[in-house]
Amino acid sequence: MADGSSLYDHLGLGLGFTLLDFGGVDATELAKRAEERGIPLAVFAPDEGDRESLFALYERRAALVRSDHHVVWRGDELPAEIEHLLDIVTGHASWGHL
């Protein structure tokens, strides 16, 4: 990253998730639903200078990453069924129709 840090320095530690926002994804509802369910979630929006190179790597405007750095979801917008996404990434459901 331009500031000398690693992207991994910005990912949640412990058992939480980090939503990487590379531009224009509204994470308000995801953050609200995760908090209601007790799921630790941080949102990280890299500086504009870093977004282009990170977007090239992830190929989507957002990525949801576990604390072990595994990408569990990525897309250009969050799915309409936020609860189902949270069920999937916490191991309570399968991908099915998402």
Percent of the chain with pLDDT over 90: 54
Which DSSP letter does residue 41 get?
A: E
**Mean pLDDT of the 10-30 span:** 86
Q: 41-62, pLDDT tens digit by residue?
A: 999 999 888 888 888 888 999 9
* The token pair that represents 38 in the structure block: 């007790």
How far apart, in whole angstroms, are the C-alpha atoms of residue 66 and residue 16?
Answer: 6
* Average pLDDT for 74-78: 94
The answer to whether 67 and 14 are in contact (CB under 8 A) is yes
**pLDDT score recorded for residue 41:** 95
Q: Do 76 and 61 contact (CB within 8 A), yes or no?
A: yes
Beta bridge partners of 71: 65
Task: Report d(CA 45, CA 17) in Å as an integer.
Answer: 14
Q: For the whole model, what pTM was predicted?
A: 0.87
